[in-house]
Structure 1
Amino acid sequence: MTLIDSHAHIYSEKFQQDRDEAVARALEAGVEKIYMPNIDHTSIDVMLETEEKHPGQCIAMMGLHPTSVNKDFEQELYLVEEWLGKRQFAAVGECGIDLYWDKTFLTQQQEALKVQVELAKKHQLPIVLHTRDSFDETYEIIAAAQDGSLKGIFHCFSGTVEQAVKVKELGFLMGIGGVATFKNGGLDMVLPHVSLDDLALETDCPYLAPVPHRGKRNEPAYLPLVARRVAELMQKPVEEVAAATTRNALNLFKR
């Protein structure tokens, strides 16, 4: 069973002591590729070092995370733009809007997202979206920009069936992770009503570890737990879930 972790911060300092071992455990668990979203200027070096050490398995994106957007966000975006012009990345991301922690810089987050959408179009790359407490605000920007050329993932999707339909109509995938295993995660009400063609699996490690590891550090080796829960909720064989989500991720990222 081959799996793709479409969203993992394996370069995080939480893996400082055992990053290589965590990557090896992922391979052993059948996770062949780990796509790494960038956060801001502080994460680029360690992310690219991780990619260099694990070529073909750990693959970098380039973007600016919404929680790193503040009044000086333009400097961060210049750096993102510069890197996208220098070398190949799998996607623009992660970017989007986060209204969970703080609404102070909503206007700046909206502007930063619009700039990154245009960068994704320019470089013909998919875009990976962060939408914590901000599905409607993020969707509005993506829908307005969608001219048929935009593709990507609504990462850590935990919305409603209606929102899932909107994501599908945009031509985007939903990133499904550990929340699917949570008792009150809500995805038990959504996944039976969507198609495997619209899903990618992710861990978002070191965050959102699936049951029975909830509350501990997450890692890509736990992705089979997500796959099994998705299979259970969709009443499909886990091998079918693995095959479809792997195909979807590879078709999106192209590397």
Structure 2
Amino acid sequence: MLLTDSHAHIYAEQFKPDRDAALERAALAGVTTIVMPNIDHTSIDVMLETEARHPQQCFAMMGLHPTSVGKHFERELYQVEEWLGKRPFAAVGECGIDLYWDKSFLAQQQEALRIQLNLAKKHQLPIVLHTRDAFQETADLVEQAQDGTLRGVFHCFSGTPEEAERAIKLGFMLGIGGVATFKNGGSDKVLPGLGLEHLLLETDCPYLAPVPHRGKRNEPSYLPLVAHRVAELLQKDVEEVAEVTTRNARELFNL
């Protein structure tokens, strides 16, 4: 059973002591492909170093995370644009809107997302969207930018059936992670109505570890727990879930 972790911060500081070992555990668990979202200028070097050390397993995106958007976000986006012109990346991301931590930079977050949506179209890349407490605000901007060429994923999706339908109508996939295993995560009300062709699996490690590891550091080797939960909710064989979601990820990210 081969799996793709479509969203993992395996380069993060939390993995500094055992990053290589964590990647080995992932491979042993069948997680042969890991797509890494960028955060801001501070994460680029370590992310690209991780990719260089594990070129068959780890693939980098390039973007600016909404929680890193502040007064000087244009400087950050200049670096994103420069990097996108230098070499191939799997996607633009992660980017989007986050109103959970701070609402004071909403206008800047919206502008940063508009710019990155245009970069995704310019470079013909998928875009990976972060929408914490901001699905509608994010989807509105995607809808305005959608010209038939935009594609990507609403990562860490834990919204309503109506939001899932809207994302799919916009031509986007849904990233399903550890929240699907939480007792009150809400996935039991959404996933049974969806086809596998719309789903990617992800960990978002080191965050959002699935049950029974909830509250601990998450890692890609836990992805089979998400796959089993999705299989249970969709009443499918876990092998089919692994096969289809891996194919979805490879096609979306051109891996």
TM-score normalised per structure 1: 1.00
Partner of 2:96: 96
**Counterpart of 1:190 in 2: which secondary structure?**
helix
Question: Which consecutive unaligned segments of at least 5 residues does structure 1 have?
Answer: none
**Counterpart of 1:221 in 2: which secondary structure?**
helix
Partner of 1:73: 73
Percent sequence identity is 74
**Counterpart of 2:64 in 1: which secondary structure?**
coil
1:10 equivalent in alignment to 2:10: yes
One-letter identity of the residue aligned with 1:155: H
One-letter identity of the residue aligned with 1:176: I
CA distance in structure 1 between the partners assigned to 2:108 and 2:56 by the alignment = 35
Partner of 1:145: 145
CA distance in structure 1 between the partners assigned to 2:190 and 2:120 by the alignment = 29
One-letter identity of the residue aligned with 1:147: D
One-letter identity of the residue aligned with 2:233: L
Partner of 2:190: 190
1:17-69 alpha-carbon deviations (Å, 9 max, x no partner)? 00000000000000010000000000000000000000021100000000000
CA distance in structure 1 between the partners assigned to 2:56 and 2:126 by the alignment = 18
1:198-236 alpha-carbon deviations (Å, 9 max, x no partner)? 000000000000000000000000000000000001111
CA distance in structure 1 between the partners assigned to 2:4 and 2:148 by the alignment = 25
**Counterpart of 2:174 in 1: which secondary structure?**
strand
One-letter identity of the residue aligned with 1:169: K
Partner of 1:50: 50
CA distance in structure 1 between the partners assigned to 2:114 and 2:193 by the alignment = 31
Partner of 2:62: 62
Partner of 1:37: 37
CA distance in structure 1 between the partners assigned to 2:49 and 2:168 by the alignment = 35
CA distance in structure 2 between the partners assigned to 1:119 and 1:78 by the alignment = 11
1:52-98 alpha-carbon deviations (Å, 9 max, x no partner)? 00002110000000000001000000000000000000000000000
CA distance in structure 1 between the partners assigned to 2:141 and 2:171 by the alignment = 14
Partner of 1:26: 26
CA distance in structure 2 between the partners assigned to 1:192 and 1:95 by the alignment = 28
CA distance in structure 1 between the partners assigned to 2:57 and 2:122 by the alignment = 26
Question: Which consecutive unaligned segments of at least 5 residues does structure 2 have?
Answer: none
Partner of 1:128: 128
Partner of 2:208: 208
Partner of 1:170: 170
Partner of 2:159: 159
1:165-218 alpha-carbon deviations (Å, 9 max, x no partner)? 111111110000000000000011000001100000000000000000000000
| RMSD of Structure 2 on Structure 1 (CA) | 0.4
**Counterpart of 1:174 in 2: which secondary structure?**
strand
TM-score normalised per structure 2: 1.00
